[in-house]
Amino acid sequence: MEAFPTRLLIVSSIVIFVGGFIYDIFFAGIPYQDPTPEMSARFLFHSGIATIIYTIGFSGLIIGMLGWVAKSLACKLKQRRKSM
């Protein structure tokens, strides 16, 4: 149960990242070949939101993985000190 917060952060970050991908597909989509200024502005707006969601998800994933590695190393050091 100790690793629950880091696992929760990792899993929720993956869910957020996938949510950003889904948002990008449904709202921004593939850029138009010859868009009007309004279509181009809408694409840039939604693609910017998707980028922010990607960044939040990826940052949370990195932080969660670093926390998991730090917690694992701390447990190993603690066990090593007990055995000495």
The token pair that represents 63 in the structure block: 């932080």
The token pair that represents 13 in the structure block: 């970050």
**CA 54 to each of CA 27, 32, 42: distance values in angstroms, whole numbers, following the listed order:** 14, 22, 18
DSSP-derived letter for residue 31 is: P
* Domain boundaries, given as residue ranges, for the chain: 4-83
**Percent with pLDDT over 90 in the chain:** 61
How high is the mean pLDDT of the chain? 89
CA atoms of 3 and 71, how far apart (whole Å): 8
pLDDT above 60 (res 73): yes
- Taking residues 36-42, what's their average pLDDT? 93
- Taking residues 29-53, what's their average pLDDT? 91
pLDDT band at residue 1, thresholds of 50, 70 and 90?
very low
pLDDT above 90 (res 7): no
pLDDT above 90 (res 2): no
CA atoms of 73 and 68, how far apart (whole Å): 9
